[in-house]
Amino acid sequence: MKAEPMQTRYARQTVLKEIGQDGQHMLAGATAVVAGLGALGSNSANLLARAGVGALRLVDRDIVDWTNLQRQSLFEEEDAVQSLPKAEAAARYLKRVNSAIRYEPITEDINPGNIERIVTGAAVVVDGLDNFYTRALVNQACVKHGIPWLYGACLGTYGSAATIIPGVSACLNCLLPDIGQATTPPLTCETVGVLGPVAAMVAAWQSSEALKIMVGKKDAVSSHLVHVDLWQNDFSTLPMTRVAGCAVCGQHKFDLLEHGSRLATASLCGRDAVQIVPPPSSSLDFDLLRQTLGRIFTLEQNPYLLKFRADDHDVVVFHDGRAMVFGTSDPNAALSLYGKYIGG
Ligand SMILES: [Zn+2]
Q: Give the active site residue among 142, 154, 171, 189.
A: 189
**pLDDT at site 97:** 96
Rounded to the nearest whole angstrom, what is the distance from the C-alpha of residue 149 to the centroid of ligand 1? 13
* Helix, strand, or coil (residue 239): strand
**Is a pLDDT exceeding 60 seen at residue 185?**
no
Q: What local confidence, expressed as pLDDT, does residue 321 receive?
A: 87
Helix axes 20-28 and 196-214, enclosed angle (nearest 10): 100
Q: List, as one string, the DSSP characters of 248-297.
A: TTTT---GGGSPP-S-EEEEPTTSSEEEEE--TT----HHHHHHHHHHHS
Each residue of 116-135: pLDDT tens digit?
A: 999 999 999 999 998 888 89
Q: Which residues surround ligand 1, an ion (CB under 5 A)?
A: 171, 173-174, 246, 248-249
Instruction: Confirm whether 142 is a catalytic residue.
Output: no
Closest CA to 95 of 126, 49, 41: 49
Task: Please give the distance, rounded to the nearest whole angstrom, from the Cα atom of residue 32 to the centre of ligand 1.
Answer: 22
User: Ligand 1 centre and the CA of 189: distance in Å?
Assistant: 27
Per-residue pLDDT at 180 exceeds 70: no
Answer whether residue 285 shows pLDDT above 90: no
Query: What pairs with residue 31 in β-bridges?
Result: 55
Res 186 pLDDT > 60: no
Burial class from Cβ neighbours inside 10 Å (0-12, 13-18, 19+) for residue 38 reads: buried
Give the pTM.
0.84
**For position 335, what pLDDT does the model report?**
83
